[in-house]
Amino acid sequence: MQASALQVSALRRAQLLTRRRFLSYSALAPAALDALIWGQTSSQVPAVGHAAPHISSQALDIHGRAFVFDAHVHALDREFYNGGSMGTRKTDGHWDLSRAREGGEGAFFLSVFVPEEYYPSRFETRQTLRRVDHALRQLEENRNLVELALNADDVERIRAKGKMAAVLDIEGSYDLDGDLGILRDLHRMGLRAAQISAHNWNQNYADSCCSTPKSNGLKPHGRDVIREMNRLGMMINVSHASDDAISQVIDLSESPVIATHHGLRSVNNIPRNMPDALLKKLAAKGGLIGFQIGSEFAYPKEYEWLTAQRGKTFFDTSNIPDRVKGKTIYEVDQLVAPQFPMPGARVPDSVMMAVDDWVAVVDKAIQMVGEDHVALGTDFDGGPTLARGMRDVRDLPMITDAMLRRGYTEERIDKFWGANLLRFFRQVSQQHS
Ligand SMILES: [Zn+2]
């Protein structure tokens, strides 16, 4: 980007903040300033004090009976970087165990998030191990509320005890070279799902949606990674992969594959979203698409407004190599930390998505591929800008209410909330392990 455009972008950012608040933050690193606009810092997004939405009693009943299984939650970024426990109820951000229970969540993919900042100095494996250690320690510390699930039976067993089930899932790269021994080690530690791309960057064996392709999808070693994940019974997550990579993975994989947090390109035309033809192909082989809950995937009007404010797309990570150059892993931690929790931006009411707009996107997918191939993958605390009136995970019943307004049956609503994902997890983990 040219300097003048950068200045304009910075000015727009500044205009969004009060002068005093902007000055108090102006000494922060660019990432922190970005976080103020895109993933705003927690202090700017009121969670408590914001009125609870009105939900119909029928929706509350159905939601209360449903098993909600969220395929993508940034549950522990805040705790990894800033300390604290996932069991402590927070007044900011989207998600903690207490509020998740209130929103009806019974199980969730716990994202082991290894962002791009760790790749240029090849810290990705080290960071994966640190994050898995942290996740397992957090689960142990909160064992009265949550347990690690290694398969679908575990999810049901844990749920029967009245606890939440957590499935370890890596978002990003555990090793840019895709070492199969490291993959097996991580599986032994409890990892049950992994992304094909390195978040928005290419792996050395598979292409991302949002970088210049290097492998035309998968290199031969990428095919080895897929086969090994099949053999281990791991879930293959194609969110953030390139269209070619997704298509080749679907062709190759013996198990169905999942896009844990996604949207439809025919709704919002961004490379992070899935073309209709690819969704049909994914579903035809038993796959699932989890819908990211934010407007950036589901509502072009708000996406365009936000992108204009920010001066770049949310998946543009081109400035990262310069920012992390020469830094130690601990210095990279410090650079990344201010982003979390990342609850999404404030937007004017005039461009804001309504919950019915969001459900319309899910509905479009159901019209195309049927109700057995849709799921929830919120991305809570990973940056989604929520629908009007939705505070955080507590307000998931707003979606049930909107689905009822659309005339959905309880069976269809249950499939979307968790029955499809549980079926998928069972199929993948039992078919090959
Ligand atoms: Zn993601």
Which pLDDT belongs to residue 431? 61
330 CB burial (10 A radius; 0-12, 13-18, 19+) = exposed
> What is the Å distance from ligand 1's center to 394 Cα?
21
> What is the Å distance from ligand 1's center to 153 Cα?
27
Which pLDDT belongs to residue 314? 86
> What is the Å distance from ligand 1's center to 86 Cα?
20
**pTM over the 0.85 mark:** yes
Which pLDDT belongs to residue 51? 84
> What is the Å distance from ligand 1's center to 261 Cα?
6
C-alpha–C-alpha distance, residues 32 and 43, integer Å: 13
> What is the Å distance from ligand 1's center to 298 Cα?
14
> What is the Å distance from ligand 1's center to 272 Cα?
9
C-alpha–C-alpha distance, residues 230 and 126, integer Å: 24
> What is the Å distance from ligand 1's center to 412 Cα?
26
From 3.20.20.140, 2.40.50.140, 3.65.10.10, 3.40.630.10, which CATH number describes the 38-432 domain?
A: 3.20.20.140
C-alpha–C-alpha distance, residues 177 and 410, integer Å: 45
> What is the Å distance from ligand 1's center to 274 Cα?
13
> What is the Å distance from ligand 1's center to 53 Cα?
27
Q: Write out the chain's pLDDT in tens, 433 residues.
A: 333 343 334 333 433 333 333 223 333 333 333 333 333 333 334 444 478 999 999 999 999 999 999 999 999 999 999 999 999 999 999 999 999 999 999 999 999 999 999 999 999 999 999 999 999 999 999 999 999 999 999 999 999 999 999 999 999 999 999 999 999 999 999 999 999 999 999 999 999 999 999 999 999 999 999 999 999 999 999 999 999 999 999 999 999 999 999 999 999 999 999 999 999 999 999 999 999 999 999 999 999 999 999 888 888 888 999 999 999 999 999 999 999 998 888 899 999 999 999 999 999 999 999 999 999 999 999 999 999 999 999 999 999 999 999 999 999 999 999 999 999 999 998 865 4
> Cβ neighbours of residue 4 under 8 Å, at least 6 residues apart?
none
> What is the Å distance from ligand 1's center to 18 Cα?
30
> What is the Å distance from ligand 1's center to 80 Cα?
18
- Smallest Cα–Cα separation from 111: which of 86, 87, 91? 86
> What is the Å distance from ligand 1's center to 73 Cα?
9
Q: Map out the domains of the chain as residue ranges.
A: 38-432
Which pLDDT belongs to residue 17? 34
> What is the Å distance from ligand 1's center to 240 Cα?
7
